[in-house]
Structure formats: structure tokens, C-alpha cells
């Protein structure tokens, strides 16, 4: 199951926010900047089907640094397979386990997300960033077509 991880807030005032956001096991850091309402991975150009990433050798630990971003998660190993999780700036870290289809949509004004990934020895950029088009995976397509995602909002004020 995905997890929401809190972290230490040393100072959190109107003018100054100062946090320790370390995910100690992380060995890769990705910074993903959406300057508008971007979709990642983008929908397929021809039919606009949803596309997803899935990592078999990587766990993602995602923190919205600014803006908001909504993630759609599908994992057939969970009791309920389809979730929608909204991350808001400086809220929880979303931990996405290996083997989870995921895509994200930024708010109208975009978002900046830091991923403190944990990548196994077997994982490479090529192996972990293949895109799955839902039209090519019947189980995935049936899931997102027939089920409503359960929705969770996670933010820290």
C-alpha cells in the first residue's frame, strides 16, 4: 500500500519554513517541475488514453515543494486497487511502492515535486521510466474505466 510519511519541521511560521525532509535510504533524487497543468506521463497523443509509469526496481518518495499535484495510483495487490492522492506544498511525502502504476496531474499553476527515490541495483533510467499506455493493458484499462478512485487529500497547514 502507498504510505504518507511525515517529517521533522524545525520552523514553520508565516515567513520561514525549515524542514528536514531526508529519506535516508534514498540513493537518487529527481526534481520534476511542471510549469502549468502538466500530465506526467502525458496522455497518448492519438486517443488521449491515460499512460502510467511503473517501477519494478524503484520506490518513489514524492514531496510537493510548491504547488499541488494529484496522483493516480493503481496496484492490483491492494485491497482496493485505485486511488487518487492529492499532494499539497510541504505536506506529507507520498511513498509509492514498487509495482504500482502511477501518473500525476499538476494544478493550473504547476508544481515542483522532489522525488527521493530508492533504486535497486538492477534499476536503470531505461528500465524504470518505460511508459505503459492503458489501452495496451486490459486489466489496467478496465480498472480505471470501471472503478472510481478512492480520494485522499494530504496537506499540512
Query: Where does this chain bind Fe ion (CB under 5 A)?
Result: 53, 60
Nearer to Fe ion, 117 or 144 (CB): 117
Q: How far is the CB of 16 from Fe ion (least distance, A)?
A: 31
Residue 92, Cα to own-chain centre: how many angstroms? 12
Instruction: Considering the complex, state which of residue 97 and residue 110 has its C-beta at the smaller distance from Fe ion.
Output: 97
Residue whose beta carbon is closest to Fe ion: 60
Give 18 or 131: the residue with its C-beta nearer to Fe ion. Answer: 131
| φ, ψ for residue 151, nearest 5 deg | -110, 130
Pick between residue 7 and residue 28 the one whose CB is nearest to Fe ion: 28
Helix, strand or coil for residue 113?
Answer: strand
Minimum Å gap between C-beta 100 and Fe ion is 9
- Least distance from C-beta 96 to Fe ion, angstroms? 6
The dihedrals phi and psi of 115, each to the nearest 5 degrees, come to -105, 115
CA angle centred on 75, ends 135 and 147, rounded to 5°: 65
Which residues contact residue 110 at a Cβ distance below 8 angstroms, ignoring those fewer than 6 apart? 33, 34, 35, 36, 37, 38, 67
**Minimum distance from residue 138 beta carbon to Fe ion (Å):** 23
Q: 55 or 90: whose CB is closer to Fe ion?
A: 55
Long-range contacts at 9-17 (CB < 8 A, ≥ 24 apart): 9/156, 17/90
Considering the complex, what minimum distance in angstroms separates the CB of residue 2 from Fe ion?
A: 12
Amino acid at each position: 500500500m502507498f504510505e504518507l510519511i511525515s517529517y521533522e519541521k524545525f520552523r514553520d511560521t508565516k515567513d520561514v519554513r525549515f524542514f528536514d525532509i531526508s529519506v535516508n535510504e534514498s540513493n537518487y533524487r529527481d526534481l520534476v517541475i511542471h510549469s502549468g497543468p502538466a500530465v506526467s506521463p502525458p496522455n497518448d497523443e492519438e486517443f488521449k488514453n491515460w499512460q502510467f509509469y511503473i517501477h519494478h526496481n524503484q520506490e518513489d518518495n514524492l514531496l510537493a515543494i510548491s504547488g499541488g499535484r494529484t496522483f493516480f495510483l493503481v496496484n492490483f495487490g491492494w485491497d482496493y486497487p485505485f486511488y487518487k492522492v492529492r499532494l499539497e506544498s510541504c505536506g506529507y511525502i507520498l511513498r509509492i511502492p514498487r509495482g504500482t502504476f502511477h501518473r500525476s496531474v499538476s494544478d493550473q499553476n504547476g508544481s515542483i515535486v522532489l522525488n527521493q527515490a530508492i533504486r535497486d541495483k538492477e534499476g536503470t533510467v531505461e528500465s524504470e521510466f518505460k511508459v505503459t499506455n492503458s489501452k495496451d493493458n486490459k486489466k489496467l484499462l478496465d480498472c480505471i474505466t470501471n472503478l472510481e478512485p478512492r480520494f485522499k487529500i494530504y496537506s499540512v497547514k
